[in-house]
A = this chain, B = another copy of it.
Amino acid sequence: MFSKSCEYAIKIMAFIAFKQAKSKELVGLDLISEAIDSPRAFTAKILQQLTKARLLKSTRGRTGGFFLDKSQNINLADIVKAIDGPKLFEDCLLGFDKCQDDNPCVLHYQLKKERNTLKNKLLSTDIYTIAKRVNRQKAYFKE
């Protein structure tokens, strides 16, 4: 459903939102990759992508790290689009050039409603909602 990168991205955003609900301190790469149990260097790349996509803010330097702009409302669809692109929402399920009501593929009308429901759920779920769920054992720091 989601790429590995996207899975990490969702975990990252959830973890940072979770952390920042408690304190305003910046969250650093090391803490993040340990918390979500992901490879450090690869996680750095995803953090870069999220920052470029303006879903995260960052500051460099000795006390640098990542943080969220609290005034910004971010939902799951934003994250998925930033990392995997819009294909989950827009592309034809069978790989045809365009997904369209006229000239539909054999799955189009079969799954249109289900896809839309999924899309709407992702659009309507913001990161602070999922941050409240941060308690999975073995990841998200046992504290």
Copies of this chain present: 2
The verdict on A23 contacting chain B, using a C-beta distance below 8 Å, is no
Q: Contact: A94 with B1, CB < 8 Å?
A: no
Chain A positions 1 through 33: 1 when the CB is less than 8 Å from some CB of chain B, otherwise 0: 110100100110010000000000000000000
Give, as a whole number of angstroms, the nearest-CB distance from A17 to chain B.
Answer: 10
Give, as a whole number of angstroms, the nearest-CB distance from A90 to chain B.
Answer: 12
What is the total number of residues of chain A having a CB less than 8 Å from a CB of chain B?
A: 36
The verdict on A71 contacting chain B, using a C-beta distance below 8 Å, is no
Footprint of B on A, CB under 8 Å?
1-2, 4, 7, 10-11, 14, 76, 88, 93-96, 103-111, 114, 117-118, 121, 125, 129-131, 133-134, 136-139
